[in-house]
Amino acid sequence: FIAATQPSTNWHLKENARDHRTSKFSSKELIVRRGQAFTVTFNGTGQPEQNLTFIAETGPKPSKLAKTQATFGISSTMSTESWSAILQSTSSNSVSISISSPPNAVIGRYKLSVQTTSSGSSSPAILGTFVLLFNPWSSGDDVFLPNTAECEEYVLEEFGIIFAGTKNHINSFGWNFGQFQGDILNICLSMLDRSLNYRQDPATDVSHRNDPKYLGRVLSAMVNANDDQGVLLGNWSGNYEGGKSPNSWTGSGEILQNWKKSGFKPVRYGQCWVFAAVLTTVCYMKLHIPEILCLGIPTRTITNFSSAHDADGNLRVDEFYDASGNHLDRSADSIWNFHVWNESWFSRSDLGPSYSGWQVLDATPQEESGGIYQCGPASRNAIKEGDVDLDYDCPFVFAEVNADCMYWNYEATTGKKTLMFSKSTVIGQFISTKAVGRDDRVDVTTDYKYEEGSTKERDVFKKARKKLGLEDKFDPTAPTPQEIDQKPDISGRFKVAGPLEVGKDLSLILVLENLQSDAKTVHVNMTAWSTVYTRRPVHEIRKDSISATLSPKEEIQLPIKILYTEYQQQLTTDNMIQVTALCHVEGGIQVLVQRDITLDNPAIDIQVLGEAKVNKEVDVEVIFTNPIDMELMNCVLQVQVQEMPSSCY
């Protein structure tokens, strides 16, 4: 039947790509989605329905037991449970076949062969290779997403918006996920071959590639470089010598290409939003990547403001301050101004249908999980309900959005620590993602937890502690009930009284209110530090002491101005300043007042001059106004131009 050992194969690239929503691929290789039929034509004659057997195989050691090899003949109907083929048409020298994979097939590059079975001895003829992806449009697939608009956004969108800043000042920036950029195929294949799982047991690793939760976990480890020479090396020091500031990246493509060019040495440097953006690219990459990393898993970035890093797993974050109000590095716990992770959409057959849907993945290397730096997938539904005993890493993610905060005063001379106050409503604010089809912010906080301070939210918190065995566990560092029940005599807050822009003076007002019916004398030690977004102090900017007496129930306002010349040389690339006022009340307990401030960079105005046409030069005017009273030298303008394949025009 088969005309040659190497038949001529027509993969019907245009038609199949249209049907499988892979039309924007610039690859000449067939790329299709599992659980959906595709057509292939090859040269041959005879009665194919009686004597043809197809072999589809993937991985280094294909086997039927591992579901990395399938053998199937021509049948009258397509199967929804296994690989199958239906005869479409025949001619004097060719035959067209429709082939379908099961919705739970292993993802990756397949070799397709055909064998004439009537002779019983002929060797299989290789028809060629094709790539199989997850299929979020198929109801039988683990990654099925019923909302078509969300599929377009979370699988096919190449540009995104990432939110950052502080809970008081949320800003955003664009990110180019880079699916259209060249050479991403080889880069991602190399990433796959360098995963610890593949190096330890390639055949087993490939056999698990039908499972999105397995792949999500592997990739959350591979995007960071801590254990496996992965893509990105993290740096939160504020000093980025020997690499690039994380703030300078604008897209994933340059990072992945730099990784390859360096001989797969970790790219320097990344922080949480960079890790999350690269993981997004890898998860839903749809162009140039005919392998497992071209996943097709619906994925989006999530920003959590006032995000807890609970290092000791007790669902509590401890922060220490000295008598001057300086933040002390005495705990591995921390509260980040914001933290960015990923959500990927897939079912959880290991947990049950109530835990399916959005799953949290985090490639930022914070704490080890299973002995390496990886995090998730943690069911978002499990986080909201306090089911922290479920796989994977639910306690850590739960603490990120709902830990309790303990603020301590520490005396270095005596080693004594005193609880100033505790709060259960600080962590997990304005949890944000990009709107579908728009550049707006959508708040998803209530998808992670019940209303802050409500009885339901507190019940879930107690449930989580009980599941972790923390209810009855003795903790010598825990505050006493008497300390927790202490009530302050005054309250305080910082108000912003001017623009929050780099190059401008920073004007604040410290508002203090006497809560008692007798006068209170307050001694205020105020500090201002430049920080990175994890709130780690970098440079001291200002230190002041103020004393005031407040009449009964009186509110006073103390103006504070930090000149640009004071913070100019101290500011990090994160443009963040933490202002702290430690208020010592005579005869009462101390009160800590904090404000984390993000300064906006001066605006850049971009205007297209004239009409923009395909394959024609276009003039663009970039307008920038120097905001300070001095000459700027050696300025650099970063421009990223997105390259679009001809199929997109």
Angle, alpha carbons 141-142-146 (nearest 5°): 70
pLDDT band at 287 (very low <50, low <70, confident <90, very high): very low
Average pLDDT over residues 138-158: 91
404 annotated as a binding-site residue: yes
272 catalytic residue (yes or no): yes
- The answer for residues whose C-beta is within 8 angstroms of residue 320's C-beta and 6 or more apart is 327, 328, 330, 331, 408, 409, 410, 417
Q: What pLDDT band is residue 575 in, cutting at 50, 70 and 90?
A: very high
Pairing of strands 125-133, 30-33: parallel
Taking the alpha carbons of 476, 482, 485, 486 in that order, is the dihedral positive or negative?
A: negative
* Tens of pLDDT, residues 462-510: 999 999 999 766 565 666 666 666 789 999 999 999 999 999 999 999 9
State in Å, rounded, how far the first CA of the chain is from the last one. 42
Contact 510, 557 (CB under 8 A): yes
Q: Is 402 labeled as ligand-binding? A: yes
Q: Rounded distance, CA 483 to CA 342, Å?
A: 38
Mean pLDDT for 187-210 is 87
Q: Which of 48-52, 312-316, 535-539 has the lowest mean pLDDT?
A: 48-52
**What average pLDDT does the structure give for the chain?**
90
- Could you report the per-residue pLDDT of 612-625, keeping only the tens digit for each? 898 899 999 999 99
User: Rounded distance, CA 132 to CA 126, Å?
Assistant: 17
> Is 482:463 a contact under the CB 8 Å cutoff?
no
Please list the residues that pair with 358 across neighbouring strands: 345
The amino acid that residue 637 corresponds to is: L
pLDDT at 178: 64
Q: In the structure, what pLDDT confidence band is assigned to residue 116 with cuts at 50, 70 and 90?
A: confident
Q: Residue 648 above 50 pLDDT? A: no
Residue 438 to residue 360: CA distance in whole angstroms: 22
Inform me whether the pLDDT recorded for 646 exceeds 70: no
Closest CA to 245 of 572, 557, 649, 578: 572
Q: How confident is the model at residue 627 (pLDDT cuts 50, 70, 90)?
A: confident
Judge whether 457 is annotated as a binding position. yes
Cα angle value 17/109/264 (rounded, 5°): 115
Please determine, for residue 526, whether its predicted confidence score (pLDDT) is greater than 90. yes
Q: Is the pLDDT of residue 439 over 60?
A: yes
The C-alpha atoms of residue 41 and residue 98 are separated, in whole angstroms, by 9
pLDDT at 270 over 60: yes
Token digits of residue 610 = 């004239």
Q: Which of 94, 52, 48 has its CA nearest to residue 72?
A: 52
The catalytically annotated residue of 283, 309, 339, 375 is 339
Average pLDDT over residues 135-163: 92
Residue 286 pLDDT more than 60? Answer: no
Question: Which amino acid, 541?
Answer: I
Q: What is the mean pLDDT of residues 315-342?
A: 94
The pLDDT assigned to 645 comes to 44
Q: Give the pLDDT confidence score for residue 177 in this predicted structure.
A: 82
Tell me what pLDDT residue 293 has: 35
Distances (CA, A) of 370 to 218, 554, 638: 11, 55, 40
Q: Is 301's pLDDT higher than 90?
A: yes
Taking residues 109-119, what's their average pLDDT?
A: 83
Active-site position among 318, 362, 387, 393: 362
Q: For this structure, is 635 an active site residue? A: no
Handedness of CA 533, 537, 543, 544 (dihedral sign): positive
Average pLDDT over residues 55-67: 96
What's the rounded Cα separation, in Å, for the pair 550 and 552?
A: 7
15 labeled binding residue: no
| Confidence bin at 192 (pLDDT 50/70/90) | confident
DSSP 45-103: -S-HHHHEEEEEE-SSS--TTTTSEEEEEB-SS--SSS-EEEEEEE-SSEEEEEEE--T
Question: Is 362 marked active-site?
Answer: yes
Residue 282: the pLDDT is 82
Contacts for 392 with CB less than 8 Å, ≥ 6 apart: 213, 217, 369, 375, 376, 377, 378
Q: What is the pLDDT of residue 614?
A: 86
**Confidence at 4, pLDDT banded by 50, 70, 90:** very low
Q: Whole-angstrom Cα distance, residue 413 to residue 420?
A: 18
Task: Classify residue 438 by burial, with Cβ atoms within 10 Å: 0-12, 13-18, 19+.
Answer: exposed
The percentage of residues in the chain with a pLDDT greater than 70, rounded to a whole number, is: 89
How does pLDDT run across 600-614, given as a tens digit for each residue?
998 899 999 999 898
Q: At what angle do helices 212-222 and 272-284 cross, to 10 degrees?
A: 140
- CB count within 10 Å of CB 167 equals 16
* Site of tokens 């009885």: 455
Among 151, 272, 283, 375, which one carries the catalytic annotation? 272
**Least confident segment among 100-114, 146-160, 416-430, 525-539:** 146-160
pLDDT at residue 183, as a whole number:
62
Q: Does residue 518 have a pLDDT over 90?
A: yes
pTM across the whole model: 0.92
Does pLDDT of 66 surpass 50? yes
pLDDT tens digit string along 333-379? 999 999 999 999 999 999 999 999 999 999 999 999 999 999 999 99
Please write the tens of the pLDDT for every residue from 366-418: 999 999 999 999 999 999 999 999 999 999 999 999 999 999 999 999 999 98
- Secondary structure (H, E, C), 243-305: CCCHHHCCEHHHHHHHHHHCCCCCEEEECHHHHHHHHHHHHHCCCCCCCCCCCCCCEEEEEEE
